Structure 1
């Protein structure tokens, strides 16, 4: 994992737990053979090989140094022998020439790519076995297990082993930057695994892309089903999911902790040692094969398998919904926050503001103080659509006066990392009677579109924006 550029206190804040938010569920997968129990012994064997490589190359596997290239050659040989199509991508860094390794499993719909990645490089002062031999070895063994399974995937399966993560996420950034817009749009999901065997482990699930396609919730459900307590974490820009997330590709992943210390509550929950770093050998020479918790490693590699076996069979087809059908899930909010990401509590059944239909609605603002709230949901506009329309009902009431827009609600769409504001409502011209508004989304057909409601309120005098009965309909 890349060293944070934040001060220590800010690092703790960056790794602070965030409250769970609901999000759009992934399409229901067709029945598929259960994911196998991935061999932790095989993964440990890969880690032993990476340790041997580091020992023979100055004690590290850092990008631009011989140990990194030897690590890449080892992984590539394993994947080639299993039947993967591998591509070595060369790029330059301040430390010299280095490489990404991308492996594609033959078959599966090339228009729907499920991708899993981990960085393969270490820092220059140590062998990097937990950081991030564990992630790399974990996805390698999963790739080999999938090749041996005989499964014909519905979606195309791809693995990325990134170079120069420790130099600033350079490998994954380079990879994403070289893809055309069309190729980026084919990636339905990117899962990242960076440090999954910390010696004083926590069980964290990435929560910094809640508007994704349900992957975050699938990971937490998996851990729950295994009796493993988990916590959400926003790892911000500290690992290789960041380049994918910035483009708008749904991301998630797991993490067992780095230099931050475990709290007493976490120690009680996970059986660890309070006041001790999750990984006391983070970015140090002692990050060897002795620096890995086998139980945490085993649990995480099986979580990877669960996600791969599920998502290679998810139906990402572009079948149009029935006439008048709605691409948005829970469009009238009657199931609470289900399928919506964003600010906790913004969806409510409070009787203080009436719903347009039913009981629940989205109520943003109304705080009478500086605030920013949002709600999001991601859908895909079918490529075959001839019409695509976003509609919603909104009412606004305010304590503000005059013609200055102090408080606003923006209706936006985010596509490929680009945000477009379709309409801005404000305290000016507020009307407590519901009115319906519509916007064409046809320009985004064939693309993943995040519908976003973004509210900003100034320091005094409330304005309430109440939205209900949303829809994205296509024909």
Structure 2
């Protein structure tokens, strides 16, 4: 939780006390609420504590404990089947990283996102602030992957870096998200300090307009018989960057350095006149600095929101813009809508994109390897002259006229696979050139467009593809 001139003591004092009144929410479907494991979440927190202990007692941006935290969380999400992206950015304390994880199912035009900052301050391990919420959304993500739920919408999780330096990670993420991709984010749910040892139950009240997410959280607490209060966090956490773009936000919080009042102690238990978290931004914010009941209640609230919003009906997705049948044709949304090998769709600056920052970079390994990326489209029978086009640049360390490394462009139907073009290490060019292939034979059929790279045992060849299209002619 970032420190600002607004202290939570003042914010909590003006929070609106709420009398429990059962309420129904029309904006989310009625689903069985998941029971997110507090035992597993606590195990994640113990791992973050171990990382901090092994790395100077903290997990702060620019320190090795932060990168180790990112790497460990990423390994858990990769193993569960998420498409993960590590987004580096510069800060005054050194390089920091955002970790983005997306469940590769559901409508990519409607994105439901939850996030928490993963960094600590330099003075302590940051287990409540904000390992608690990072572990909570991690376990929720893993539970969703195990659940077998059929996602109607895309579910995306953000683990933010450098929040403690001024919300830098979340700001960097939204500022580098293309406008078209921003428009796909239907709601952003933020969680920060959800296991304070002298807890309150606060719901963000600084973006009440739009989507009803705030009301869905309060209705959830009502249904569980948990008293809550609104609190205006006024830009102290990572929802602020999303809110500034008009994206509906909501979130929960159990208190920081603010003092619990007598009325709040009567309602929630705990100790009046004592901070919600006496170890806020201190070395004692360890795995012993947690209220597991508050953690359990809040992670179940996170699960409720993810399950509900993943299934929410946001309406019919409009057709792709223009007559391009491919989704995410320029890869600016990362690996969204493409299926294949993890890694080739990248924003690495080692090979330039033709437009934007992202492209598909196949090969470049210098070792025996095979990589693929594909997408399925249905070509109308009425298409006048359907075509597949893409822009390609390539470079190689191979010499001579033998094709050691190749990239094949294929079209697969239910009955056959046809190679329409083959590019190789022979005749490479670092200048992008557009290639166009005829798809007339596939009118009225559903086909998979596939890029397949094979590389031999030595000397790299890189095939970089950008700005793909399947057009009707």
Q: TM-score range by the shorter chain?
A: 0.5 to 0.7
Cross-structure match for 2:104: 106
Q: Is 1:170 equivalent to 2:168 in the alignment?
A: yes
Cross-structure match for 2:89: 91
Are the counterparts in 2 of residues 26 and 213 from structure 1 also a CA contact under 8 Å?
no
Cross-structure match for 2:134: 136
Cross-structure match for 2:406: none
Are the counterparts in 2 of residues 129 and 287 from structure 1 also a CA contact under 8 Å?
yes
Q: Please, which of 269, 272, 295 is the counterpart of residue 270 of structure 2?
A: 272
CA distance in 1, matches of 2:53, 2:271: 30
Cross-structure match for 1:469: none
CA distance in 2, matches of 1:280, 1:52: 22
Cross-structure match for 1:330: none
Q: CA deviation at 1:224?
A: 1.1
Q: Is 1:53 equivalent to 2:51 in the alignment?
A: yes
Residues 314, 125 of structure 1: alpha-carbon distance in 2 compared, 3 angstrom cutoff: same
Q: CA deviation at 1:180?
A: 1.1
User: After superposition, where does 1:326-475 map in structure 2 within 5 Å?
Assistant: none
- The number of residues matched between the two structures is 313
Are the counterparts in 1 of residues 11 and 233 from structure 2 also a CA contact under 8 Å?
no
- Calculate the TM-score normalised by the size of structure 2: 0.64
Q: Secondary structure at the match of 1:159?
A: strand
Q: CA deviation at 1:88?
A: 0.2
Q: CA deviation at 1:28?
A: 4.3
Q: CA deviation at 1:64?
A: 0.8
Q: Secondary structure at the match of 2:295?
A: helix
Are the counterparts in 2 of residues 202 and 230 from structure 1 also a CA contact under 8 Å?
yes
Cross-structure match for 2:284: 286
CA distance in 2, matches of 1:30, 1:294: 28
Are the counterparts in 1 of residues 203 and 251 from structure 2 also a CA contact under 8 Å?
yes
What's the CA shift string for 1:427-474, capped at 9, x where partnerless? xxxxxxxxxxxxxxxxxxxxxxxxxxxxxxxxxxxxxxxxxxxxxxxx
Residues 27, 178 of structure 1: alpha-carbon distance in 2 compared, 3 angstrom cutoff: farther
CA distance in 2, matches of 1:52, 1:267: 33
Q: CA deviation at 1:16?
A: 2.6
Cross-structure match for 1:187: 185
Cross-structure match for 1:249: 247
Are the counterparts in 2 of residues 4 and 11 from structure 1 also a CA contact under 8 Å?
no
What's the CA shift string for 1:72-122, capped at 9, x where partnerless? 011000000000000000000000011000000011111110000000000
CA distance in 1, matches of 2:168, 2:317: 37
Q: Secondary structure at the match of 1:127?
A: coil
Gaps of 5+ in 1: 321-475
Cross-structure match for 1:466: none
Residues 15, 106 of structure 1: alpha-carbon distance in 2 compared, 3 angstrom cutoff: farther
Cross-structure match for 1:394: none
Superposition CA RMSD, Å: 1.8
Cross-structure match for 2:65: 67
CA distance in 2, matches of 1:266, 1:138: 24
CA distance in 1, matches of 2:315, 2:214: 21
Q: CA deviation at 1:26?
A: 7.2
Q: Is 1:147 equivalent to 2:145 in the alignment?
A: yes
Residues 263, 244 of structure 1: alpha-carbon distance in 2 compared, 3 angstrom cutoff: same
Cross-structure match for 1:2: 2
Q: CA deviation at 1:4?
A: 1.6
CA distance in 2, matches of 1:264, 1:102: 41
CA distance in 1, matches of 2:224, 2:154: 28
Q: Secondary structure at the match of 1:239?
A: coil
Q: Secondary structure at the match of 2:95?
A: strand
Q: Please, which of 220, 237, 255 is the counterpart of residue 235 of structure 2?
A: 237
Are the counterparts in 1 of residues 192 and 237 from structure 2 also a CA contact under 8 Å?
yes
What's the CA shift string for 1:193-215, capped at 9, x where partnerless? 00000000000000100102111
Are the counterparts in 2 of residues 43 and 141 from structure 1 also a CA contact under 8 Å?
yes
CA distance in 2, matches of 1:216, 1:30: 15
Q: CA deviation at 1:5?
A: 2.7
Gaps of 5+ in 2: 19-23, 319-473
Cross-structure match for 2:197: 199
Structure 1 outlier segments of 4+, above 3 Å: 25-32
Are the counterparts in 2 of residues 14 and 236 from structure 1 also a CA contact under 8 Å?
no
Q: CA deviation at 1:316?
A: 0.6
CA distance in 2, matches of 1:159, 1:26: 24
CA distance in 2, matches of 1:274, 1:194: 22
